[in-house]
Amino acid sequence: MKVNEIFYSLQGEGHYTGTPAVFVRFAGCNLRCWFCDTDFERGSEMSEDDIVASVLQYPSPYVVITGGEPTLQLTASLCEKLHAKGRFLMMETNGTHELAAGCQVNWITCSPKMITEKDGEGKLATIRLSHIDELKVVFEGSPTQDMSLYEQISANEYRLQPCDTGNAERNKEVLAKTLDFILQHPKWKLSLQTHKILNVR
């Protein structure tokens, strides 16, 4: 398995915000999003047992399996080995690739992505997951972002996260639009990138 990094921090986003967790970041992704801020290409080969041993160095039972796109590499046997050690598995996925047969994950967060067609039109990448606990959408505050597309995706929880544009003034505008949208559409809850606010990983 090609792993980008394994580190210990707080879950910064979504339902489990503030939870201490071990992050297992798999290398590789099947999409190329223009806004991607993850260095997912680089990685080292690790066996399943190496990964389990790294995870067990840390005291939290929570493990965030992320990437890149973790469904490209996650196996049922790695899930079993981590469960056998009492770990609670949370996954962050773009949802475009099915889980391998037998993979048991306790919590699935899906962050759907827009892809650009050959004709230049934006289209929501097809979701191939049979179950989503939490749908997390990055809100750009743009009238061209059709939120009804996301609402057609079945999930237990819907979270909206203001896009980090890299510009403080623009971020204030996006946050205000995010709050306004949530107040008008209470199916959605706010997700903040608290790790950036706290300046931790």
Which residues make up the interface to ligand SF4 (CB under 6 A)?
A: 29, 31-33, 36, 38, 40, 67-69, 94, 113
Of 5 and 83, the one with the shorter C-beta distance to ligand SF4 is 5
Mapping DSSP onto H, E and C, the string for 68-102 reads CCHHHCCCHHHHHHHHHCCCEEEEEECCCCCCCCC
110 has catalytic annotation:
no
Could you tell me the smallest distance in angstroms from the CB atom of residue 80 to ligand SF4?
25
Of 27 and 89, the one with the shorter C-beta distance to ligand SF4 is 27
Tokens 């475009």 sit at which residue?
96
Could you tell me the smallest distance in angstroms from the CB atom of residue 32 to ligand SF4?
5
Among 154, 174, 152, 156, which residue's Cα sits nearest to residue 164? 174
195 has catalytic annotation:
yes
Could you tell me the smallest distance in angstroms from the CB atom of residue 37 to ligand SF4?
7
Known catalytic residues are 23, 29, 33, 36-38, 92, 195
